[in-house]
Structure 1
Amino acid sequence: MKNFLLSLILTTLVSSVYATAASIKVIYGDDNRVDVIASPNELYVKLAESTAAMISNDKLKEFNAEQFEIGGKTLAESGVCAQERFSQQPIEANCSGFLVGKNTLVTAGHCIRSQFDCDNNAWVFDYKVQRESDSSVVVDKSSVYKCKSIIARELNSSDSNDYAVLELEQDVLDRDVLKFRTSGKPKVGDELVVIGHPTGLPTKISDKAYVREVNDIFLVANLDTYGGNSGSAVFNAVTGEVEGILVRGDTDYIFDRSQMCRVSNRLGENAGRGEDVTLITAVKGLPSDVSEPAPEEPSEPELPDTPSEPEQPEEPSLSWWERLLRWLFGK
C-alpha cells in the first residue's frame, strides 16, 4: 500500500512539474539562436539595439563610475549540461522587453504584476556578450533605465491576452523606437524573428520561424525560445515591424539521466504545441502614431490695393469777413 501511495505521489509531482514547464519554451528543428555579434543580418542587429533585459536591481554590480557588471550564475551552473550552447554565459535576465516610445517599453503581463515589480527591476539595453565565452557582461550606466509606472497591463486566462506597457523614468534618446503593426494581423506562413533573453542569457537573435496559426489575440509560431524570452519582441522578418510579444510555449529543458543534467527539448520543425505570441494590435496603452502634420488650408489670395480717389485739399479756414464777401459776391 505504501509503495502504491509513493508511486502515486511521484506521478503527481512529475505531472505537476511538466504542466508548469509547459508554460515555457523549446527548440524547433535547428537551434537558430545566435549572439548579436554573430548575426550577419544588419536589420536584426539594429532591431536588437531597441530590446532590453529585465534584471533585478541587486544584480547590477558597480564596475566603475560609468558602468555596471552583470555576472553571477552561468547557464551551466543552473543545472544545464555543459555542452549546451551558451552554457558559460550569465543568466541574469528575468524577462525581455522592447522600446515602443521614447519612454515606453512593452513586455509580457506575467513579467510585471505590480508596482513592486516595476520598482525592483531595471531595464537594461545592450545586455550582450562580446565573445561567446563571456561569463559576465559590462554595460554603460546610460543603458540602464528604471521603471516609473505601469501604463496598461493584462493577464487574462479567458482569451490568453498577456502584456504590460511600462513608463520609464527617463526618455531613451540614443536608440530608435521600434515600429509596430497598428492594424490587421500577420498571415499563416509569414516569416518571424525573435530577439530577447532565453533562460536569462544575454541578447539572442533567433530567426527562420513562421506563423502556424493566428487569431485576434495571439499567433502560434515555431520560435526557438525559452523562459526569459517572455516579453521578447517578435518581428516580421521582412519588414522589421513588431508583430507581437512572446508570452508562452512548450517545455524548454528536459532532464538527461545519463548526464544527470538538463538539455534543450528539441522537436521537429512542425511538431509540438508551438510558441504563443500576443499580437501587438491587441495591446492597449501604446503611444499614438506620430502622424504627418496636416497641410494648412490655402488662404485666399490677397487682392491688390484698389487705388483710392485722390484726396481733395482741405480748404483753408476763412475769417468772418471773407465768408461775408463770398456770400455777397459768390466767391
Structure 2
Amino acid sequence: MKTWVYVGVALCASCTSLGETNTEDGVGRADAALIFDDDSRRDYYDHDAPWLRERTLRSVMAVVNPDRLVMIDRNDIRLTDDAMTIGEREDLCPDVDFEDQPTLANCSATLIGEDLVLTAGHCLGEASDCSQYAFAFNYFYESEGKFATMTAEDIYYCRNRIVYNNSGGIDHAIVQIDRPVHPRHRPAAIRYNDEALALDTPVAISGFGLGLPAKLDDEGIVVSNEEEMGVPTYFETTLDVFPGNSGSGVYLHSDEVVGVLVRSPKNHIEERPDADCNQWLVASSGNSGNDVSHVARAIEELCEDVQHPTILCADQGALCKGCDACTGDEKCHTLVGDPNTSYCTVDCTVDADCAAGLACDGGQCLPRPACYGGNLWLFDACGRPRKMQGACSEDAVCKPGAFACTAAGPGNSCEQTEELELKDATIRGTLGDDYRSNFNGSCGGLGQDRVYPFTTDKKIRFRATVTGFDTVLYLRRTCDDPASEILCRDDTTPPGDKGTRLEETLEPGQYFLILDSDGFEPVPGGDFELEIKVTDLSDDEEPDDAGTSDGGVGGKTKDPGGDGCSVHAGPPSSGGTLVWILAGLAVVARVRRHRAGAIRDIL
C-alpha cells in the first residue's frame, strides 16, 4: 500500500498554516520528500534551461503568510529574516545542498491570467475566505547568496477563490488576486488537452520545496497516468519535490503548464551513517512517483463559472466547432496536440484571404496574435492564449483588443516626456490604456503613471492638485531614481474624494512630477484634471498659505528634521489594519515591519 502525503508545508507555528492538510499518517509533514536517483534541483541562477528560468522570473509565485513580509520601502520588500534555515530545522549535515537557506514559503503557485493564480487546493484549505494569503514573485537567488529584488509590484493578495477542488485524485484551486499583475510578469501558457501523456515524457517544475527560495528541476519524466471513470485526473512523475512544492506548475519542455504538483510518497530524512546529522533519503527511479493533477480539470471548472469570465475560456472569433458544422469553403482540422478538439477554417495564402481578426498561418486562417496581459500572444483556434509571441518595449503598450504593440502616450517614461510649462494652469487628460506602470511612489501608485518634467531657475512654491480617480502624486529630482523622491502624496484633503494635492518649496533645478494611479482599483486610472499653481519666492518670502510640505491630510512626506524618518499623516486609501506612524516618534531603524493589512494599505 502506498502512503501519500500532501507536499504543502506549515512553516510558522504561531502563524496561520498554509498548505497544511491532514493525511492518514500526519499533517503536511516536513519529512515528506522525494529525490529520484540524484538531486537535480538547482537554484534559479544555477539552472541551465533559459526557458525555465524565464518562467520562474515571470510566472512562478510563492504562497506566503503576509506576516512574513517586511517593507523597507516600496522598492525593497523582503521576507522576514528570523526564519530558521532548513539545516537548523532538519538537523542537516553541513554539506547537504541548500542547508544554509531560509524556509519562508508555504506553497507554490503559477500565474495563468492577468489576475488569476493556479495552486493546489489543499494549500488554501476549505475556508472560502482567502484574504490571509499573499503571493510573491522573485523569491529566488539571482546569484550565489544574493536574493532577487522584491518590490511592491511583486506582492499580491488573494481577492477571491474562484475554483476549489480537493477530492479524490483532483487537487487544485484558482484564485483571483487583488489586481492585474505588472506587465513584467506574464501568465504561463496552459495545455488545455488532458489526454494521457506518453510514458517517459520529459517534465519540469519550479517551486518552493521546503519553503526554500525557488528550486528548478527539468529532469523528471512521466511514469504513469491515472483516471477516474474514464476521465484523466492525475499523472505521476519523477521530479524531485518536497513539502512546499504543492501548487507548483508542472511543465512540458514546450513551456506549457500541464499540471499542478499535489502529492508525494512518504519518504524520510535519514541519519547519515557515522554522523550526528541528517541527509535526504534518495529513492531509485523504480519507486512510485509524485502526483500531478491535470491543469485541464481546473480550467474546466473555471470556465463553468459564468460569474468570472476570462479569456482562458474565450471563444470570441474562435473557430472551434464540430466537423459537421463546417460550411462553404471551410475545412475541418484538429488542434495540434489535441485531436479531440476540431475547428473549421478556410485555406489561405495571404492575410487578405482571411476574415477580420484572423491571419494566414501555415495556409490556414487562424486567430491573429493579439494583446493579452500587456504583451502580444498567439491564440489557438478556440480563441485561448497559447504562447506569448513577444513583449512590448517600455515605451509601447499592448491594449486589450489590439493586435500589435503601439507607442505609449506622452510622459509614459522618462524618455517620452513633454516639459511642463511652469505657470498656473489646468491640464485635462486621460491616464488609461496608453500608459504602463513604470514607477512607484513611496506612498502608493501601482497602476498606470505619467511623468511631467519641469525646470525652475528660481526658488518657487509649487502646488499640484489632481482629481478624477484614485490618484497618487510624487516629486523626484531624478526621473528614474526612487531615492531622489522629495515627497509623495496619496488621497489628501483637500481636494478629497481620492484626489491628491502635493505642495513644496523648491530651489532652482530640474524636477519630475509623476501622476500615478492606485493599482488596487479594478480599473486604475481614468480621466483627470491636474491643476498647477506656481508662486515666485525669489525674494525669499514664503506665501501666507504655504503651510507645510504636507499639502493636505493623507500621504507621506520626507521628514523635515532630516533624520531619515517618515511621517504617515493620514488614513491609507484601502482597507485593512490602519498604521499610524506619528511625527516625533523615535524610530530605531528604517526597517519597519507591518502586518498584512498595514502593508496592503501602504502598497
Query: TM above 0.5, one fold?
Result: yes
1:249 paired with 2:264, answer yes
Tell whether the 8 Å contact from 1:251 to 1:265 is kept in structure 2 after alignment. Answer: no
Please identify the structure whose Cα radius of gyration is greater: 1
C-alpha separation between the residues in 1 aligned to 2:120 and 2:28? 17
Cα deviation for residue 46 of structure 1 reads: 1.2
User: In the alignment, which of 285, 295, 299 is matched to residue 302 of structure 2?
Assistant: 285
Tell whether the 8 Å contact from 1:22 to 1:251 is kept in structure 2 after alignment. Answer: no
What amino acid does structure 2 have at the position aligned with 1:269? S
Tell whether the 8 Å contact from 1:54 to 1:95 is kept in structure 2 after alignment. Answer: yes
C-alpha separation between the residues in 1 aligned to 2:188 and 2:88? 35
Tell whether the 8 Å contact from 1:153 to 1:163 is kept in structure 2 after alignment. Answer: yes
1:90-129 aligned within 5 A: 90-115=102-127, 118-129=130-141
1:29 paired with 2:46, answer no
C-alpha separation between the residues in 1 aligned to 2:152 and 2:144? 22
1:206-285 aligned within 5 A: 206-215=217-226, 216-237=232-253, 239-256=254-271, 258-271=274-287, 273-283=288-298, 284-285=301-302
What amino acid does structure 1 have at the position aligned with 2:49? N
Tell whether the 8 Å contact from 1:23 to 1:248 is kept in structure 2 after alignment. Answer: no
Task: Find the counterpart in structure 2 of residue 304 from structure 1.
Answer: none
Task: Find the counterpart in structure 2 of residue 79 from structure 1.
Answer: 90
C-alpha separation between the residues in 2 aligned to 1:232 and 1:76? 23
Tell whether the 8 Å contact from 1:22 to 1:249 is kept in structure 2 after alignment. Answer: no
User: In the alignment, which of 128, 133, 157 is matched to residue 146 of structure 1?
Assistant: 157
Higher strand share: 2
Moved more, 44-53 or 66-75: 66-75
Cα deviation for residue 119 of structure 1 reads: 1.6
C-alpha separation between the residues in 2 aligned to 1:130 and 1:233? 20
Tell whether the 8 Å contact from 2:29 to 2:243 is kept in structure 1 after alignment. Answer: no
Task: Find the counterpart in structure 1 of residue 76 from structure 2.
Answer: 67
User: In the alignment, which of 181, 185, 195 is matched to residue 191 of structure 2?
Assistant: 181
Residues 51-106 of structure 1: CA deviation (Å, up to 9, x unaligned)? 10001001111223422112322111212413221111111000000011100001
Q: Return closer, same or farther for 1:117/1:88 CA change in 2, 3 Å cut-off.
A: farther
SS at match of 1:111: helix
Tell whether the 8 Å contact from 1:244 to 1:279 is kept in structure 2 after alignment. Answer: yes
Q: Return closer, same or farther for 1:175/1:219 CA change in 2, 3 Å cut-off.
A: same
Residues 126-149 of structure 1: CA deviation (Å, up to 9, x unaligned)? 111133445x66511210101101
Structure 1 unmatched runs, 5+: 1-15, 298-331
What amino acid does structure 1 have at the position aligned with 2:257? V
Residues 221-266 of structure 1: CA deviation (Å, up to 9, x unaligned)? 11100000000000002x1111100001023541417544432120
Choose between structure 1 and 2 for higher RCO, CA contacts under 8 A separated by at least 6 residues: 1
Residues 158-178 of structure 1: CA deviation (Å, up to 9, x unaligned)? x32101110000101322211
1:40 paired with 2:48, answer yes
C-alpha separation between the residues in 2 aligned to 1:20 and 1:68? 28
Tell whether the 8 Å contact from 1:18 to 1:251 is kept in structure 2 after alignment. Answer: no
What amino acid does structure 1 have at the position aligned with 2:110? F
Cα deviation for residue 187 of structure 1 reads: 1.8
C-alpha separation between the residues in 1 aligned to 2:65 and 2:149? 15
Residues 180-211 of structure 1: CA deviation (Å, up to 9, x unaligned)? 11123222111000110010011111111110
Cα deviation for residue 268 of structure 1 reads: 1.2
Task: Find the counterpart in structure 1 of residue 101 from structure 2.
Answer: 89
Structure 2 unmatched runs, 5+: 1-23, 227-231, 304-309, 319-354, 358-603
Cα deviation for residue 115 of structure 1 reads: 5.0
Tell whether the 8 Å contact from 2:66 to 2:134 is kept in structure 1 after alignment. Answer: yes
Residues 289-318 of structure 1: CA deviation (Å, up to 9, x unaligned)? 455736359xxxxxxxxxxxxxxxxxxxxx
Q: Return closer, same or farther for 1:214/1:23 CA change in 2, 3 Å cut-off.
A: farther
Tell whether the 8 Å contact from 1:69 to 1:137 is kept in structure 2 after alignment. Answer: no
Q: Return closer, same or farther for 1:212/1:147 CA change in 2, 3 Å cut-off.
A: same
Note the aligned Cα RMSD (angstroms).
2.5
Higher helix share: 1
SS at match of 1:281: helix
Tell whether the 8 Å contact from 1:253 to 1:262 is kept in structure 2 after alignment. Answer: no
C-alpha separation between the residues in 1 aligned to 2:246 and 2:40? 17
TM-score after normalising by structure 2:
0.43
TM-score after normalising by structure 1:
0.77
**Total equivalences in the alignment:** 277
What amino acid does structure 1 have at the position aligned with 2:203? L
What amino acid does structure 2 have at the position aligned with 1:233? G
Tell whether the 8 Å contact from 1:25 to 1:248 is kept in structure 2 after alignment. Answer: no
C-alpha separation between the residues in 1 aligned to 2:247 and 2:279? 23
SS at match of 1:176: coil
Task: Find the counterpart in structure 1 of residue 326 from structure 2.
Answer: none
Q: Return closer, same or farther for 1:201/1:23 CA change in 2, 3 Å cut-off.
A: closer
1:170 paired with 2:168, answer no
Tell whether the 8 Å contact from 1:89 to 1:132 is kept in structure 2 after alignment. Answer: no
C-alpha separation between the residues in 1 aligned to 2:283 and 2:27? 18
% identical equivalent positions = 24
Moved more, 260-269 or 166-175: 260-269
